[in-house]
Structure 1
């Protein structure tokens, strides 16, 4: 309760308690001490937990790096899955074409049969121009025309769970020692999934 004081002229003044003598001030002090005290105690255990979780995340990131499809070169017959988009090279054939349609001099047709499966929850587009033929480090489009090849892969869209198979036809030097099919995962980056063809 506030104390009342009368001066010599009869004026009444109310003398208020100083703020540090009020009950709400001490309640606030106790709450602040408890909050920071538990934070300091919890902080040390959190820091040990955070170091444990950091070690776990490093281990899991190492595991992810090991299974990251961008870090591996797949063989014919193996399936590569990138964010639910699965690609498999079924077969690779080489051809000199026919009497009406031949590859450029010193080259051969490379016919790659692939299957694409959509394991995502959304419709996914596919396009043969997302694939490149890499011959000894030289990337070329798979847009060659071999009239003897049926079922060439066209662009389209796959619903959830759907798949499509088709042939990609490119040209490479017959002397090429290393052949790869490379799938570019996005227009916006240079990430590729690689398949060893030769």
Structure 2
């Protein structure tokens, strides 16, 4: 009996394969429309305050300029960036139970006045700082609940909605980093603010009632 050729040895099988390869190459390109490209552009044009900070300059000199063509997402809304200034910061503290807390960047942004959905107050400035925390033991630390005091006499509590959720309980040996954001009622010129004072709390669990080192209030000022 004559043995039939296997299907992959027949000429028509390879014709089908060739046609399939061509279709696979052409169809995805046909699916790329201008509307898809526009959607990508629109999405990338709406960074959050933290994303703006991540992409900002880290030169030794601050950067301040009119950026009216840029927008940010903050307080669940899109805002035009009128001006901004980015400052490299070199602040660190390892005095409390060996825990290393660092701040390496500060970003000040001026936006058109907007009303906060939470408290109903009007703001026109945003301050963002980047923190890095390395725990030497199990701790709880809360820069995202911190208080900011500016050199022009403004005081603000960190915005829980727009601050990164990176702090809280941190285990021994773990490093976490993230951005903390504050809203300011006034922001005439980002460069007019010369110092930022930050206060926040930290603690660790202990059964020793005489352990006076179990809690810590960080209170520091950075020069811009």
Structure 2-normalised TM-score? 0.41
Structure 1-normalised TM-score? 0.46
More helix by share: 1
Bigger RCO (CA 8 Å, 6+ sep): 1
